Structure 1
């Protein structure tokens, strides 16, 4: 079939109802399509798996029907079909009224937050008018207080055609009210079928959740992270070049087998998302649940078209009573992919029945080791708002000093990169986050920046308390301590802000707090004067530290502290491990060298030793010092004076 561009609005309608209530026959009467496609379905007369059909309601308005099984054994298939529906068509047989699966399917639709729907009372030709009215009353009682409380209830017969026009009119009215899907989002399609089509290869189908996809584009299959090329597309059985959010879509994939892509997988764009084993959620237990849900309960987790076993870690209590809501962390036995805002269903392990569901709020959370933590719960309550301007700072706080890059923000929020940049700029203006690097983008939360700032201040306070006679902590030492918690870029940014705010001072690679003052006791002052005098008098032939130390009275620890103080103050200068000079002696040395010649004049090591009456032990370190001070430079075995004072 030639490719064409389908325009207009597309709405996905899912059927719901008890086994043998006529869902498939109703879809066939409306569309002419028999959605029972399996041989076993034909033989048994019941729907086992999902079926699909479409109907054009008017020019530019088409609905796609997802016919789901009603038998309790196939509710998991019903859940796969319910993924992505816009409207629910609740089917109730007039000769049986509301049954067990009617209620379960309806509760599932409520948990998935389906917003609109209508009711078809099928097999109306089999009962008297009084019975039909009684069934309508029972249905109205079921719908009371729900999103379908005011939904149309239409009596129909798939055999006689009674009520079909009224039903189509109701569908048309509701479909027109459905908001158009956002095609600007990232492409996502949960796979509900995977099969081989002769002459084409692997074909997958699903309801396109968000975004759009085109022929020849590459897709990634999650959670396997395998890739395939889109060879062809069909929407409502018509070949197209592009498919958009809200459309029932069949995708012919090249480069992958049906064994490598199956129901429960998600198709998306490459290199954007990561599958996860844990999700933070807002969880509701149905009022009809037969028992409370206890901490660490093992349940069946249904998300999109996937079914996975998981453990429920309740974060606000030891158990959840029927009808209650809580924050929880689900730990899955197999990875899958979701985004914040996706809705899920949980069913009990045994007996298998729907007991609850809820909202996914974080797809890559930390493992919450401390339950009942108000800090954790407060952050999770913020995540339930699903506003990226509120959630991104929470995610960034989770990352601590490591910060969040653009790719991780996209992966954790589902936002496109271009949207991320705009939102990040807005949050920076509000002071919620700080941009550490713009290319590549790296952010930290304001909370983390504050914590890092306080850590630096705390480390310096501790250093000053431990070493009261030292001016401060070496910059490199502080950096090494902080790099265990934050990358260099974050450390550099926080340091720059602290220096700009004058909350700390950096001098000669030493950091200290402005309020830090060195106060010496009388004994310490005397030792400082003695040590300074000793080195000043020694000139260019100072004693070793061991020799100098022996001439001082006091403990080795005190002597060492006084030495560090004089070195930090610049009064003394250490040229080698064992050679320490008074700064005054070095200043006089530089003046003397300038007096010996002009710029460009050269002298040998021997001449230098002769000038100042020193041995090689002192001469070589002093010459290297003069080189470092740009007074001289080495030329072969000689030194050349390179500037005048």
Structure 2
């Protein structure tokens, strides 16, 4: 059965609470102070059985301007709103402010209840109706019915109930399968039970014994019992007013505005990227870095508004804004909010959260504005793409994206497949975990690496390239090393880079010798071939050739990298030709013999004991041979 939350709105003393009592038979003003003063101060809650049999939760909000904060805490979970207007007074300042708030929060269904009609004549009622229609002309209530009510004389109540029933049948179903979110609008204790929190469950479901977390506090708790509309229940589902008894946390540790959800399912932030709409009738403009009061869910937070795409926002304007918060919060992309001036506390606008955990942004950047435009579409695949783009440096995983978007991993996976199919993102699999980056980020890092290697090759034409580890550390120092390795492997697979031993170079790079270097190289080759296995030290080669003002060691290092020479230890090299011959001699010997000793190998090569030792130790390192009891066998 569809779950519905009905809410009231309107000016103080226009009969909201009296109307709810007439409809339900229950009083929502329960505080002594409320009864003594005859006004609503806190949110009131009850339920209503509709003619169709559906049971709807009801939130009665205070109408006094001093308690607008409490009104805002209740309105975010409403499906259908009853805008209450007293016939003897008509539209009043708080009626207009409430109407503006409801419109900014994108409430879609509503009815206008014209109360206290028994106090005025029919001509006056018609004048008030005309004023109401004019006031709601550009709002979600423009096509709504005005139902004449007298709560004290039981007039119009049945008609109101029937109209509410019709509207509740038209509202969209809540998402009951997703990660649960319950913004807290009250927290108290009961003797024998402990901590109780109440709120409207926005999405998902909660069950007795569920482990939960209170955001942004980071406190873990467990659900001991649940009440829905005052009755015990095993489960609460989206769209219901819920009271939850939790164990593991104290009342003093929780605040109104905190959110209950599953452990590790949401992200805390001090910044939000939003689309902000300023009211047409706002007496103020929002300048860059204006201090505001942000009302998000059931929470009030102080924030600075950094206007990203304009100098400032004037009445009736909309723009992209980064809200920099003075305390932590947790939210979801798509959440609606209201902003009021810090002082005087007047409502100036509201909007929608586009990024619930953004990086710090600079103003007037075309790429940033384009990203926010994409997010504004509300397309889940597009929003996921932008989230991956924003967090490409982190190589976000499915779990990371699920937490950020407060969305189940199954839905993230489904939309990831679409993005991969459209070649918008690149996936890297590490064990059982996949990480993702945007194709724009992939191409940027690819181009940066190509430019870096190109410059490196120009300066180091006789070197194979850059050590793989150096390249990984330079570009992927902030992620798991293996993810950086996978990125480099992909560039190799894509024929952009190549690897030679531990060195990475551009695919088409080859070591090139100048004419003078070629001459030195030929002389070194001749010397090394002449010496055969009795190779001299590097220092001896430099002395023998004795090139004036020439860096022979540079050419020797290049020949080592190009594998014309093989480096056996810090100061001993051998020509590649005789290195390979030494391996052939070794293998031929071991065809006829079980093992080979140092002396046997020295004699077979007709070289010195020292060189034979160095060669065998090199074979051991390269796993060509294995030493057993002073002799070698093939590995």
Question: What secondary structure sits across from 1:213 in the alignment?
Answer: strand
Higher mean alpha-carbon deviation, 378-387 vs 622-631, is at 622-631
Q: By how many angstroms is 1:59 displaced? A: 3.7
1:28 lines up with 2:24 in the alignment: no
CA contact (8 A) 1:388 1:413 kept: no
- In 2, Cα distance between equivalents of 1:42 and 1:628: 89
- In 1, Cα distance between equivalents of 2:411 and 2:596: 67
Alignment correspondent of 2:407: 415
Alignment correspondent of 2:51: 58
- In 1, Cα distance between equivalents of 2:173 and 2:579: 80
**The one of 523, 530, 539 aligned to 1:530:** 523
Q: By how many angstroms is 1:420 displaced? A: 1.7
Alignment correspondent of 1:352: 345
Alignment correspondent of 1:399: 391
- In 1, Cα distance between equivalents of 2:63 and 2:500: 77
Alignment of 1:198-213 (within 5 A): 198-213=191-206
Higher mean alpha-carbon deviation, 344-353 vs 247-256, is at 247-256
- In 2, Cα distance between equivalents of 1:111 and 1:410: 27
The verdict on how the C-alpha distance between 1:202 and 1:511 changes in structure 2, with shifts beyond 3 A counting, is closer
Alignment of 1:227-626 (within 5 A): 227-368=220-361, 370-437=362-429, 439-484=432-477, 487-552=480-545, 554=547, 558-593=551-586, 598-602=591-595, 604-606=597-599, 608-609=601-602, 614-626=607-619
Q: TM-score, normalised by structure 2?
A: 0.95
- In 2, Cα distance between equivalents of 1:481 and 1:351: 51
The verdict on how the C-alpha distance between 1:465 and 1:17 changes in structure 2, with shifts beyond 3 A counting, is same
- In 2, Cα distance between equivalents of 1:355 and 1:252: 37
- In 1, Cα distance between equivalents of 2:479 and 2:211: 36
Alignment correspondent of 2:107: 114
CA contact (8 A) 1:18 1:100 kept: yes
Alignment correspondent of 1:148: 141
- In 2, Cα distance between equivalents of 1:469 and 1:567: 10
Q: By how many angstroms is 1:179 displaced? A: 1.6
- In 1, Cα distance between equivalents of 2:248 and 2:620: 67
- In 1, Cα distance between equivalents of 2:589 and 2:80: 97
Structure 1 residues 388-447: Cα deviation after superposition (integer angstroms, max 9, x where no partner): 311222222222343101221011111112222222122212212222116123222222
- In 2, Cα distance between equivalents of 1:81 and 1:572: 79
Alignment correspondent of 1:71: 64
Higher mean alpha-carbon deviation, 589-598 vs 91-100, is at 589-598
CA contact (8 A) 1:470 1:561 kept: no
Q: By how many angstroms is 1:632 displaced? A: 4.9
Question: What secondary structure sits across from 2:173 in the alignment?
Answer: coil
Q: By how many angstroms is 1:268 displaced? A: 0.8
Structure 1 residues 606-633: Cα deviation after superposition (integer angstroms, max 9, x where no partner): 5554665644443321222344566654
The verdict on how the C-alpha distance between 1:497 and 1:631 changes in structure 2, with shifts beyond 3 A counting, is closer
Aligned pair count reads: 634
CA contact (8 A) 2:293 2:341 kept: yes
4+ residue stretches of structure 1 with deviation over 6 A?
Answer: none
The verdict on how the C-alpha distance between 1:537 and 1:385 changes in structure 2, with shifts beyond 3 A counting, is same
The verdict on how the C-alpha distance between 1:490 and 1:468 changes in structure 2, with shifts beyond 3 A counting, is same
Q: TM-score, normalised by structure 1?
A: 0.93
Segments of structure 1 that go 5 or more residues without pairing to the other structure are 1-7
Alignment correspondent of 1:3: none
- In 1, Cα distance between equivalents of 2:41 and 2:375: 38
Structure 1 residues 345-399: Cα deviation after superposition (integer angstroms, max 9, x where no partner): 011111111111110111111111x211111111121111232311222222222
**The one of 169, 183, 188 aligned to 1:190:** 183
Higher mean alpha-carbon deviation, 533-542 vs 498-507, is at 498-507
Question: What secondary structure sits across from 2:444 in the alignment?
Answer: helix
Higher mean alpha-carbon deviation, 334-343 vs 614-623, is at 614-623
Higher mean alpha-carbon deviation, 279-288 vs 542-551, is at 542-551
- In 2, Cα distance between equivalents of 1:373 and 1:262: 37
- In 1, Cα distance between equivalents of 2:530 and 2:19: 109
Segments of structure 2 that go 5 or more residues without pairing to the other structure are none
Structure 1 residues 319-341: Cα deviation after superposition (integer angstroms, max 9, x where no partner): 11111111111111111211000
Q: By how many angstroms is 1:146 displaced? A: 1.5
**Aligned-CA RMSD value:** 2.2
Question: What secondary structure sits across from 1:146 in the alignment?
Answer: coil
Question: What secondary structure sits across from 2:391 in the alignment?
Answer: helix
Question: What secondary structure sits across from 2:50 in the alignment?
Answer: strand
Alignment correspondent of 1:5: none
- In 2, Cα distance between equivalents of 1:567 and 1:373: 49
Question: What secondary structure sits across from 1:379 in the alignment?
Answer: helix
- In 1, Cα distance between equivalents of 2:194 and 2:380: 40
- In 1, Cα distance between equivalents of 2:609 and 2:549: 30
Question: What secondary structure sits across from 2:187 in the alignment?
Answer: strand
CA contact (8 A) 1:402 1:487 kept: no
The verdict on how the C-alpha distance between 1:602 and 1:247 changes in structure 2, with shifts beyond 3 A counting, is closer
CA contact (8 A) 1:401 1:452 kept: no
CA contact (8 A) 2:288 2:307 kept: yes
CA contact (8 A) 2:47 2:56 kept: yes
Alignment correspondent of 2:125: 132
The verdict on how the C-alpha distance between 1:413 and 1:162 changes in structure 2, with shifts beyond 3 A counting, is same
Question: What secondary structure sits across from 1:347 in the alignment?
Answer: strand
CA contact (8 A) 2:265 2:402 kept: yes
1:80 lines up with 2:73 in the alignment: yes
- In 1, Cα distance between equivalents of 2:235 and 2:148: 38
- In 2, Cα distance between equivalents of 1:64 and 1:632: 80
CA contact (8 A) 1:55 1:64 kept: yes
Question: What secondary structure sits across from 2:213 in the alignment?
Answer: strand
- In 1, Cα distance between equivalents of 2:240 and 2:142: 27
- In 2, Cα distance between equivalents of 1:597 and 1:146: 93
- In 1, Cα distance between equivalents of 2:596 and 2:236: 83
- In 1, Cα distance between equivalents of 2:520 and 2:551: 9
Q: By how many angstroms is 1:451 displaced? A: 2.0
